[in-house]
Amino acid sequence: MAAPAVRRWGLRAGHLGIVGLFTVFTAFPFYWMLITTFKRETDLLKRANNPFVYNEPPTLENVRILFEETLYGRWLANTLFVGLLVVVITLLLSLPAGYALARLTGRWGERLGIGIFLTYLVPPTLLFIPMARVIGDLGLQDSLWSLVLVYPSFTVPFCTWLLMGFFKAIPPDLEEAAMIDGHSRLGAFVRVVVPISVAGILTVVIFTLTLVMQEFVYALTFITAARNFTVSVGVPTFLVHGDVYFWGSLMAGAFISSVPIAILYNLFVDRFIAGFTVGAVK
């Protein structure tokens, strides 16, 4: 009689416990960034203080330093500029490539798809040396355009592969129906395949933006002038002097640039998950 009820509550508590644990685990970095952003230097450095709360009144000083004494605003703009261009380039290349691999290449499509994915696994720490030569020869040193050129080398393979999975999940009947209903293959692709794949396209956009925001090696190698830095290079370069860390401003920089991505993820979380699990179940 009471046993099932107890069991049910036990299960519920178990679920909530696990979810709670993960929430704390994932939210903690944000909490840490947020409180550190507004802490006074002295509060941070005193070892006797409880690090999880404010022991002295909060301050805006760290944020002021970030925006007034570094080029943080400029870096944000640079990151956005590179990010959006890379998103556009990635979509322009990986949409047709993914479609071709999914539909048109026959038996070779699969192998090519795997090949393309493998190139994504080559780490930038290996690639930046030859890439540096290429950038040098093109005269793009110290220009944001170098990043616009290089980033697609890892976003395009991954996104092509991702979109290929999406397109494979769309029944070919739909395109054929559109071709009979009066469109060319390209028309059918634009009017039927692309709208059905919005989830995949959103996934590509978010994924590409995230990669661009966190990329460090190329940005550090190709860019030398502070005014051309992206956030991921600018923040650690200017807020870490030797072993002196400007923790407050560092955290402020990290927090401000990660929040938009977090919001973006949350808005589209359902579709995003669909993006990664597409074709997993028939």
Partner 1 sequence: MATVEARRVSKQFGDVRAVDGVDLSTREGEFLVLLGPSGCGKTTLLRMIAGLERPTGGEILIGGQVVNDLPPRARRIAMVFQSYALYPHMSVFRNIAFPLKAAGMPRAEIPQKVEWAAALFGIERLLERKPRQLSGGERQRVALARAVVREPAVFLLDEPLSNLDAKLRASARDELQQFQRRIGTTTIYVTHDQVEAMGLGDRIAVMEGGRVRQIGTPAEVYDEPADTFVAGFLGSPPTNLVEAADVLVGFRPEHFLPREAHTDGGNLTTLPFHITRVEYLGADRILYGALEGRFEGARVVARLATTVEAKVQAGRTQDFAVRARELKFFDKVTGLRTTARVP
Residue (of 258, 214, 235) closest to 32 by Cα position: 258
In angstroms, rounded to a whole number, what is the distance separating the alpha carbons of residues 214 and 142?
18
Tokens of 4: 């099932």
Binding to partner 1 by CB under 8 A, coded x per residue (else -) over 193-222, reads: --xx--------------------------
User: Which listed range, 76-84, 134-142, 166-174, 217-225, lies at the site for partner 1 (CB under 8 A)?
Assistant: 166-174
- Using CB atoms within 10 Å of the CB of residue 150, give its burial: 0 to 12 exposed, 13 to 18 middle, 19+ buried: buried
User: Which listed range, 118-126, 154-162, 176-184, 240-248, lies at the site for partner 1 (CB under 8 A)?
Assistant: 176-184
Judged by CB under 8 A, the residue of 181, 216, 269, 279 near partner 1 is 181
Judged by CB under 8 A, the residue of 40, 74, 183, 271 near partner 1 is 183
User: Shortest Cβ distance from residue 188 to partner 1 (Å)?
Assistant: 9
Residue 57 touches partner 1, criterion: CB under 8 A: no
40 or 191: CB nearest partner 1: 191
At 270 the three-state DSSP class reads helix
At 211 the three-state DSSP class reads helix
Give Cα separations from 75 to 67, 225, 263 (angstroms): 10, 11, 20
User: Shortest Cβ distance from residue 202 to partner 1 (Å)?
Assistant: 14
Residue 263 touches partner 1, criterion: CB under 8 A: no
In angstroms, rounded to a whole number, what is the distance separating the alpha carbons of residues 216 and 100?
32
Residues that bind partner 1 (CB under 8 A): 171, 173-174, 176-184, 187, 192, 195-196
